[in-house]
Each structure stands twice: as C-alpha cells, then as structure tokens.
Amino acid sequence: MKFLRNLLAAILGCLMAFGILMAMFFFFLFLVGNSDEGVAVGQNAVLELSFTEPIRDYVGRNETDPFAGLWSQEVGLDDIVHGIRVAADDDRIKGISLKTSFLQAGLAQAQEIRKALIDFKEAGKFIYAHSDFFTQKDYYLASVADEIYLNPVGALDFKGLATEVLYFKDLQEKTGIKMEVIRHGKYKSAVEPYLSDTMSKENREQIQELISSLWDQMLTDIGSSRKVSTEDLNIIADTLGGRTPEFAVVSNLIDGTVHFDEYELFLKDELGLEADEALNYVDFDDYLTISGGKRLKTGANKIAVIYAQGEIYYGEGGKEFIGQGIVTRALQKAARSESVKAIVLRVDSPGGSALVSDIIWREVELAKKEKPVVVSFGNVAASGGYYIGVAGNKIFAEPTTITGSIGVFGTIPNVHRLAGDMGINAEQVGTNKNSVDYSLFEPMTDSFRDVVQEGIEHTYETFLERVAAGRNMSLSQVDSLAQGRVWSGADAVENGLVDELGSLDDAITAAAEMAEVEDYGIRKYPKYKSDFERFMDDMAGAKSKLGEAIIQEEIGDEAYRILKEFKNIGSQKGIQARMPFSLNIK
C-alpha cells in the first residue's frame, strides 16, 4: 500500500508540474504571438523580398491567431500578392529589394508574383534585385526589376528548360517487383516508366511541346522587361551567353556585377540618402502582419475563393492534399451563404483519385445551380485537377499553367517472381469464382485484367462526357485533345480546354461581373487548422517528421523527391486520373 501511495503521489506531482509548465509555455507563446503589433515601418522604407520557403497557393494564414507564424514562416501566394499590393498603396514604402535565390514556386506562381510587382512599379515605385546566384526561375522573377545586379563571383543560369523522366523496366526485371499497368490514352505516360526503358514518341512529343510553350512565355515576359527580343534571348541561351557575370552584363541579362554593400549604395542613391546613412529595411514576413489586416476589397457582398491544392486522395483532405471532405463542405457552405454572390475555385493539382475527382465535380455542378462558379488554374490543373474544374461556368489559366491530361490509369504492384526467388508460395482459398480476384504473390489473371480494363474504359468515357458537357464540345472533339495529353495554359486556350488566360484576380473579377456586384469582399475557404493546432498535431507525429527530415538531409533533395514518388505510388488506390509524368523542370 505504501508503494502504491508513493506511486500515485509521484504521478500526481508529475501531472501538476506538467500542467504548470504547459500554462507557462502557453502564456509565453501568447506574449510572443502578440509582439508583431510592434512592427515598425517608418518613412522612406525599402521592402525586402526573399522567398526562402516553398510557396503554396494558400496556407490559411490567420492574422488573428496569436500563435501564427511561431512554428512556420510559410506564407501563401495569396498573402504574397496581397502584401505587394498593399505596399504599392503604402506611402512609407518607396521600393522593393528582391533577393530571392532558389525560388521554390511553380512557374504560374512566379508569373502571378511578377504581375503584382509590375503593378507595384506602375504605382511609381522602384524594384531592384541582387543575388549571389540566379536560377532560371529566380531570374524570371527578378527580370521584372528596374535594375538587376549579380555578385561579381556569382552565377546566372540561363540555358532553356529541360526535364528528366526515370524508367524502371529493367529494375523490375532485376528485382522481381513489377507494377501491373492498365491505362487508356496513348499520352498517359505516368505508367510508361514501368513498361519501357525508353521514352515513347508520343511522350517525347508532348513534353517537348509543353516545355517549349512554357519557355516561350518566360522569354516573352523577360524580353518585355529587359527590352531584349526572344530571338536574342534564345541565342543567349544556346551560347550560354550568361554563364559568367561579365557575359551576363554584355548580354543585357543584368545591369552590373557588385557586392551587396555596393548594391546598397544604389538603393541609398535611389532614396536620396547619403552613403553613411542607414537604409530603412522592412522584412516582408514582418510586413505581412500589417498587410494581412488591410482589405483591398470590401463590401457586404462576398466572392468566395475556394482553394483545392495538392494530389487528390479519398478522405478529408487538407493543406497538403485534396480530399472530398474539406472541398465539398467548402463548396456547399459557399453555395448556401446568402452573402456569397459567386464562387471562384482555385485549383493547383496534378490529379489523383478519379472517384474523388468526380465527387468534387458533382459538387461544383450543384454549386453552379445556385450562383456563378469561375475556375482559376494555378501551376498545375491536370487530369483529376482538370476534372474538378471543368464544370465551372468559366475557366482561367496562366500561360504557364500545366493542364489537360484527360486520361486514366491503374497500377497494381506484383511480387510473384521475387516471392518465388525467395522461396515464398502463396495459396488462396475462396468461396466463389471471383472471390480471390488478385494476389500480390500471383501473376495477374486475364479475367482480372479485363475487369480492371473495363473500369478504366468506363472512367475514361465518363471523363470525356464531363469535359464535353463543360466545354460544349462533342465527345470526338474532346477525345482528340485527350488521350492523357498535357497542355500549357496558352495552348489550352487555343484548343478550347480553357476560356481565358488570366490570374486568380482576373477570375475573381469575372465572377463579380457574372454576379453583377461591384463592391465586394473576399471570403476564403477552406479554413485550415491554426498554427497552434498544427503544432500540437506535429508534436504527436514529431518522430516521423524528424525521421523524414533526417533522410532528406542525408540523401539530398533530388533522391528524396524520387523516394517520395515511390511512396506516393504505393498510396494510390483505385483508378487514377493523374498527371502523366512527374515534371521536374530545371
């Protein structure tokens, strides 16, 4: 009994101590979380933009959350564009210093940021850029600046776009682990790496045309900003005319080569400061705490913007992937709200589950009966990502959006040969002819393949019907554009898969016009968990996340990306409407 009393006392004491520590911890976080109110801008300020974290379209940033930003500095594209536009109207902000290296954003996102920066310049303010190293995407963004400078011993990458696809046919034969593949669409090459060791003519054709279209758009934007023709820019790329800082100056890619302290003298001169005076820098992350509370659009009427981002899986969904749960609830809530007059569905997805895609498509159809639905495509809206948006009244895409990919496939792993080599034999017992339909340890039967192929064909036909109805085309017209082929946003407008080229703001403006409202505010969906809630969730899964971080650190980003692709393959369930290849443009 004495032992039990001591044990209970010890447990109670530990719980009390833990409770006190947690209370102190939360009080500290509350104080830190409210310290942002002291962010000072001052006059003659320069806004520092340096995007060091991966950029999503939307992270559900909540400025009223006292714990916002404590565990993650992640900001969404919507926050970035809004912050730049608020700064354009802020008399205290005289210009922007852009210092981004290794921009972790898609081309369409970079293009939207460029447009916001152009608007900033048109407000009569300057933008200067400096970097130790410009990747092609960094340079694409920085080219909008009035003046661009590079470290004298730095480097600038400007050689054209390329991508690489890995093939695994020989690996399967050597290991005895095989992916059984059933597909529809000659361009549906997400499964090609399991069937061949070389790239098919069709796949090479679509990738070449896609990256050429993206490159042409980049050159158009860069040439407009730098006053260099696309022909000359292609010559510079072909001859590696920007491979040294000196060559980059001669090629007019940049304005000069200076160290950062020398670059700051240019900023001071622009602001009318003496060389010994200090620059009034304002960190962009800090500025977001101010700009987040300023609404550029206000009114009792609302335009709902619903974000669907990530791969498509069956389930609730969240910030990282699209599930039918969170997206359909957002659509239903917006459709039923009396203050919401129109809906904009923002899609950034390479696709995934065909079933979930159809569930969301149906909710868009239902919402469209209540009020106008305009769709905005971000970096990628391919296959299932295109599927969920095709029901909208109108579709916008950026010229650099990757879209289309109307096709479906299924992949099923099989280890029959490996199991045999290891001395494993699996025996099945069932009550009916088809009760044992498939085993990982047995070759796929013709009857099972036929059943799966039947499902693939039915899903493909349904996909065609959805697109034909949404785009007012015949089935044969859609089929000629489908077969899993991927298009750029610019090409998708030409072939009728997209209505107009434009940003998310353009889509919002169109939605307001369709709803016949002039004064309106923006209401964003879905509502993600707060920083604090995510922190507590992360604490529960800290061991797993730490392990992943260690693996990524040890094997490098490229190998980790390939590892995650294999992991995603294993999590695919059911028929897939997915991007036909993993596009890693560099």
* pLDDT at res. 281: 96
**Both tokens of residue 560?**
């980790």
Q: Rounded CA gap, 498 and 401, in Å?
A: 11
- The reply to whether 417 and 271 lie within a common domain is no
C-alpha pair distances (Å), 134 with each of 225, 242, 252 = 16, 11, 15
Residue 219 lies in a domain: no
Q: Which residue in 497, 492, 562, 405 sits closest to 214, CA to CA?
A: 492
Q: Rounded CA gap, 546 and 568, in Å?
A: 19
Q: Rounded CA gap, 395 and 344, in Å?
A: 10
Residue 480 lies in a domain: yes
Residue 281 lies in a domain: yes
Range of the domain at 379: 301-531+573-578
* Final residue before a domain boundary, out of 291, 320, 354: 291
- The reply to whether 259 and 284 lie within a common domain is yes
- The reply to whether 371 and 261 lie within a common domain is no
- Catalytically annotated residue among 115, 137, 178, 188: 188
Residue 505 lies in a domain: yes
Which residues are CB-contacts of 110 (< 8 A; sequence separation ≥ 6)? 103, 137, 140, 141, 400
**CATH number for the domain harbouring residue 65:** 3.90.226.10
Residue 459 lies in a domain: yes
Q: DSSP characters for 532-572?
A: HHHHHHHHHTHHHHHHHHHHHHHH-HHHHHHHHHHHHHHH-
Is the CA virtual torsion 467, 307, 552, 567 positive or negative? negative
**Both tokens of residue 432?**
């009916």
Q: Which residue in 583, 111, 59 sits closest to 351, CA to CA?
A: 583
Ramachandran category for residue 242: left, alpha or beta (phi over 0 → left; psi -120 to 50 → alpha)? alpha
Q: Rounded CA gap, 385 and 403, in Å?
A: 8
**Both tokens of residue 403?**
């879209």
Catalytic status, residue 503: no
- The reply to whether 248 and 337 lie within a common domain is no
C-alpha pair distances (Å), 309 with each of 24, 58, 255, 394, 568 = 37, 8, 38, 19, 16
Residue 114 lies in a domain: yes
User: Per-residue pLDDT tens for 346-401?
Assistant: 999 999 999 999 999 999 999 999 999 999 999 999 999 999 999 999 999 999 99
- Catalytically annotated residue among 97, 213, 225, 383: 383
**What predicted TM-score, i.e. pTM, was given to this entire model?**
0.85
**Both tokens of residue 154?**
């730095």
Peptide bond preceding 66 in cis form (omega within 30 of 0): no
- The reply to whether 332 and 271 lie within a common domain is no
Q: Rounded CA gap, 86 and 487, in Å?
A: 34
Q: Rounded CA gap, 414 and 440, in Å?
A: 5
- The reply to whether 260 and 314 lie within a common domain is no
Q: Rounded CA gap, 375 and 523, in Å?
A: 15
Residue-wise burial string across 424-454, b where 16 or more C-beta atoms lie within 10 A, e elsewhere: eeeeeeeeeeeeeebbebbebeeebbeebee
**Both tokens of residue 287?**
């500025």
Residue 218 lies in a domain: no
Judge whether 99 and 51 are in contact, CB under 8 Å: no
Total number of domains constituting the chain: 2
Q: Rounded CA gap, 178 and 420, in Å?
A: 13
- The reply to whether 285 and 306 lie within a common domain is no
Q: Which residue in 281, 373, 367, 275 sits closest to 328, CA to CA?
A: 367
- The reply to whether 316 and 414 lie within a common domain is yes
Residue whose tokens read 């290794």: 102
Catalytic status, residue 227: no
pLDDT in tens, the chain (586 residues): 555 566 566 666 666 655 565 555 554 444 444 444 456 788 999 999 999 889 999 998 665 555 555 555 678 999 999 999 999 999 999 999 999 888 999 999 999 999 999 999 999 999 999 999 999 999 999 999 999 999 999 999 999 999 888 898 899 988 998 888 887 766 556 678 888 899 988 889 889 999 999 999 999 999 999 999 999 999 999 999 999 999 999 999 999 999 999 999 999 999 999 999 999 999 999 999 888 888 888 899 999 999 999 999 999 998 889 999 999 999 999 999 999 999 999 999 999 999 999 999 999 999 999 999 999 999 999 999 999 999 999 999 999 999 998 988 888 888 989 888 889 898 989 898 888 888 889 998 888 888 888 988 999 999 999 999 999 999 999 999 998 889 999 999 999 999 999 999 999 999 999 999 999 999 999 988 665 555 555 555 544 544 555 555 555 555 555 555 555 555 555 566 666 555 555 5
Q: Rounded CA gap, 309 and 305, in Å?
A: 13
- The reply to whether 265 and 341 lie within a common domain is no
- How are strands ordered across the β-sheet holding 408-414? 178-184, 408-414, 576-578, 351-353, 311-312, 321-322
Residue 66 lies in a domain: yes
**Both tokens of residue 380?**
């990628």
- The reply to whether 513 and 433 lie within a common domain is yes
Residue whose tokens read 């034969």: 173
- The reply to whether 441 and 465 lie within a common domain is yes
- The reply to whether 334 and 462 lie within a common domain is yes
The four Cα atoms 323, 325, 331, 333 give a dihedral, to 10 degrees, of -150
User: Per-residue pLDDT tens for 42-84?
Assistant: 899 999 999 988 999 999 866 555 555 555 567 899 999 999 9
Which residues are CB-contacts of 259 (< 8 A; sequence separation ≥ 6)? 151, 152
Which residues are CB-contacts of 136 (< 8 A; sequence separation ≥ 6)? 157, 158, 159, 161, 218, 586
